[in-house]
Amino acid sequence: MEMENPYFWNEFELKQPPLMTLQVEDTGFAKNVFVVINRFVQQLSEPEAKDFEETAALIGRLMARRKNSFRHMPGFRAVCKLNSALCRLLRLDLARDLIQFRGALPDVCDEELGGAMPTRSSFEFVLVRLLGFYHLHERIRECCLMAASYFTQLLRNNYFMEFITLLIAAIAKIRKLSSLQASRGATLYNKLRPHVANFPLVAKHKFLAEGQALPAKLEPPKSTQMPATAASNPPDLVLKPKKVVTKMEKAKLEAKSDVGTVIARKETPSQSVTKSKFNEEALATVADAQKFIVRETKARKQNPPPESCLTKNISKHEWLAAQTLFQRKMTKDPAKALSIFRKFIVSKIKQ
């Protein structure tokens, strides 16, 4: 390892020193080392650890499923970074290194009895692995916050509600379990760190380079809870009281729901809907919404868009997402599709 590298714990292929033992006169301290390592290894097999692995796998599948839909969005890039950190944590395999070191400790630990003890280099290697474990979880929590902050904004606008709700729930659960594991890792490190000087040192197998030092203490995460965001307090997605639809109006909507493919036609300025005259009644039916989408899509393609283009201030990915959601919902529930699309347009135009 290079001396100038302050993040030596982040080496992907960290070279492990040979696990050898030396005879020492006092082995009493090894009992405490064995107990805290054994407790941590047991915690890694508890249900919380299994939940962490299952939720991490779910995030990986969700990312792969929607990579074409969200690949250019900042929030999705944060999810990709989160997935990379989770995969890195899996490859770290801290439990394997701890179990291997625990097996080299003496069977009988007594202050008045000597015994074979692993070298200081092997012990420092375990501490560096704990540092990597701790900082990877720190990275995971940062990515969770970045991703949740972005996707919560989409959730407010009814975009991909089912998918995003599931994704935010998975991210919140990963962050909570990550805080728990990081706290346990910090506790183990803080209990092991004072014992460094008790392990025998072999100069030719020295693990840490000159200038590299292990921190004296790790601070556990301050909170194991997801901060209060729209993920924990969902926003009110209803812009106004729901309009009561009579049976006659419902029949008219159903009759107009199957209108085939709408063809854009050139309109005169008097026919176009301007921003000053726009109201929700312009989107009273599914057919009106379809004509509105065709007209606005054609206007948005002009450079620059004309003044009559009501959606010119809506970003490209938001406009495409609104259309996709409208088309998907329309096949099952035209009235609900129209309601969601109309609320989105009104919220954007009246901002």
The CA-based angle 204-112-203, given to 5 degrees, is 5
264 pLDDT higher than 60: no
Structural contact between residues 188 and 131, judged by C-beta atoms closer than 8 angstroms: no
User: In the chain, pLDDT over 70 holds for what percent of residues?
Assistant: 76
Secondary structure string (H, E, C) spanning 296-332:
HHHHHCCCCCCCCCCCCCCCHHHHHHHHHHHHHHHCC
Which residue would you say has higher pLDDT here, 310 or 135?
Answer: 135
Decide: helix, strand or coil at residue 116: strand
> Which whole number is the average pLDDT over 332-345?
83
Closest CA to 243 of 336, 308, 179, 138: 336
**What does the alpha-carbon distance between residue 75 and residue 202 come to, in Å, rounded to a whole number?**
49
| pLDDT(259) > 60 | no
Q: How many CB atoms neighbour CB 194 within 10 A?
A: 12
- DSSP label at 27? -
> How confident is residue 227, by pLDDT bands cut at 50, 70 and 90?
very low
Which position has the higher pLDDT, 153 or 167?
A: 167
Which residue would you say has higher pLDDT here, 3 or 248? 248
Distance, CA of 21 to CA of 27 (rounded, Å): 12
**pLDDT surpasses 60 at 229:** no
pLDDT of 269 reads: 45
Predicted local confidence at residue 28, as pLDDT: 83
Q: 23 has which bridge partners?
A: 116
- Record the tokens describing residue 289, joined without a space: 């919404």
Q: How confident is the model at residue 238 (pLDDT cuts 50, 70, 90)?
A: very low
Comparing C-alpha atoms, which of 213, 217, 224, 214 is closest to residue 187? 217
Residue 190, pLDDT score: 95
CA-to-CA dists, residue 318 to 24, 74, 181, 279, angstroms: 68, 13, 37, 21
Q: Is this model's pTM higher than 0.75 or not? A: no
pLDDT per residue over 26-65, tens digit each?
Answer: 888 888 999 999 999 999 888 888 889 899 998 888 888 7
pLDDT reading at 270 higher than 90: no
Q: Which residues pair with 118 in a beta bridge?
A: 21
Is the pLDDT confidence value at 256 over 60?
no
C-alpha 59: how far from chain center: 7
Token pair, residue 160, equals: 């991909």
> In which band, very low, low, confident or very high, does the pLDDT at 301 lie, cut at 50, 70 and 90?
confident
